[in-house]
Amino acid sequence: MGIFKFMTPEIIFGINSLSQIGESMLRLGAKKVFIVSDPGIVNTGWVELAIQYLEDCKLNYCLWAGATPNPKDYEVEKGVDAYRESGCNAVIGIGGGSAIDAAKAIALLATNGGTIHQYEGVDLITRPLPPMVMVPTTAGSGAEVSQFSIIVDSKRKVKMTIISKSLIPDIAIIDPQTLMTKDARLTANTGMDALTHAIESYISLAATPLTEEYSLQAIRLITKYLRPSVASQHNREAKEAMAMASLQAGIAFSNAILGAVHAMSHQLGGLLDLPHGEVNATLLPYVLEYNLISSPEKYKNIAAAFGENVNGLSLTEAARLAIKAVKELASDIGIPNSLSNVNLKEEQLDFLSHNAVHDACMITNPRDMEASDVKMLFRKALGSEC
């Protein structure tokens, strides 16, 4: 089994758990709180509600809502300037993965200095971060429990992967009611992001017995509840289950890391500013086909977690049912099955493929990949290669 480590923040889960945000910040020694969010989340009212709970605990705050999808380096710099001017000593992130990643990056630079580009890679953070509480409002990114922050280098048009246990928040508050203000497309995209986390962490070279259990349980929940969650904003049972699935997948991938799907989607997101979850969902079947020979037994287990009947089948036949189940789920919730509509050009593939093989997530992909392999998968996803 070998030696492995397993890290999570304190987790507060459940309907109306957002009410714990003020008390949580007090326990961490906060005096004035810097809230990182985005305009869309502010408009839903969740930030306003969080502020009420902070005020109930006599906590001062400063709201910065400058995060955008696929947060950029220059946005983080503006956030750091605002943090330093505010006199805050703690950070809250409220939103999807983008807002939470931005919150982590702001906290990182607030105490470590320099530019965010200096921390691209693994374990380059040397000084403690301010106390952090993260509140996800989507069921997908898992950023509230992860040791990742993904920030776009706007000059290189590349997503930088920053990995450090210092980025794991002190407290994660997961309130499923926040999912009830998300439309069907965002619910689908983020749900498939969670599924990608669960599958990639399960077949990752760094998977452990602990992460594997979280990964498989996340797959079971997503299989059962993502379709009804997409179908209705107000299905409380589905929202709670998807919040739990996202949390479990987040814990799994934070500890086991990911694979080629994320290594490739990071490049597309950096270059074309595309929705991360949708890109993951589109790429996932193509990468699963490529990785199949590396982990057929695990693919069989994934198929079983989807509810597929694997009895009496050969290992390869059972393994292929996992890919079939992923494709059917994606199709049912409206995920595109190719990249043909994202304005990706053939001449951009060499750039994307070269960067993908150097992405930190590629290290734990279960099958070796060279740039030519990545380019082949991009071309298949574009529909330009059968």
CB 102 within 8 A of CB 94: no
CA dihedral for 224, 276, 363, 123, sign (positive or negative): negative
Supply angle C-alpha 256, 262, 263, rounded to 5. Answer: 100
Query: Which of 381, 284, 374, 366 shows the shortest CA–CA distance to 323?
Result: 284
pLDDT for res 2: 78
Neighbours of 347 (CB within 10 A): 7
Give, in order, the Cα–Cα distances in Å from 368 to each of 141, 161, 163, 287, 299. Answer: 25, 20, 21, 12, 17
Number of H helices and number of E strands within the chain? 14, 9
pLDDT for res 209: 95
Q: Count of residues for the chain?
A: 386
CB 227 within 8 A of CB 325: no
The secondary element (H helix, E strand) that includes residue 383 is none
Beta bridge partners of 134: 93, 172
- What crossing angle do the helices spanning 184-203 and 236-256 adopt, rounded to 10°? 40
CA dihedral for 204, 208, 211, 216, sign (positive or negative): positive
Question: Which ranges of 70-208 does DSSP label H, i.e. alpha helix?
Answer: 73-86, 97-112, 184-203
Over 80: is that where the pLDDT of 165 sits?
Answer: yes
361: Cβ contacts below 8 Å, ≥ 6 apart: 161, 200, 257, 258, 259, 260, 262, 263, 266
The secondary element (H helix, E strand) that includes residue 134 is strand 132-136
Over 60: is that where the pLDDT of 386 sits?
Answer: no
Superfamily of domain 182-382: Dehydroquinate synthase-like - alpha domain (1.20.1090.10)
CB 142 within 8 A of CB 190: no
Over 60: is that where the pLDDT of 385 sits?
Answer: no
DSSP 168-181: S-SEEEE-GGGGGG
Q: What is the largest CA-CA distance in the chain?
A: 65
Tokens of 341: 């509509």
Over 80: is that where the pLDDT of 384 sits?
Answer: no
Neighbours of 337 (CB within 10 A): 14
> What pLDDT, in 10s, does the model give residues 201-239?
999 999 999 999 999 999 999 999 999 999 999 999 999
Neighbours of 352 (CB within 10 A): 22
Average pLDDT, the chain: 96
For domain 10-179, give its CATH number from 3.40.50.620, 3.40.50.1970, 3.40.50.970, 3.30.70.580. 3.40.50.1970
Q: What is the dihedral of CA 144, 326, 378, 230, to 10 degrees?
A: -60
Pairwise pLDDT comparison (28 vs 342), residue with the higher score: 28
> What pLDDT, in 10s, does the model give residues 282-319?
999 999 999 999 999 999 999 999 999 999 999 999 99
Mean pLDDT of 159-164: 95
CB 261 within 8 A of CB 200: yes
Domain boundaries, the chain: 10-179, 182-382
Give, in order, the Cα–Cα distances in Å from 174 to each of 15, 18, 140, 241. Answer: 8, 7, 12, 12
* CA distance linking residue 144 with residue 157, whole number of Å: 25
pLDDT for res 383: 86
DSSP 22-89: HHHHHHTT-SEEEEE--HHHHHHTHHHHHHHHHHHTT-EEEEE----SS-BHHHHHHHHHHHHHHT--
DSSP state letter for 345:
-
pLDDT for res 37: 98
Beta bridge partners of 121: 162
Mean pLDDT of 143-168: 96
Supply angle C-alpha 79, 84, 90, rounded to 5. Answer: 85
Tell me the whole-structure pTM to 2 decimals: 0.96
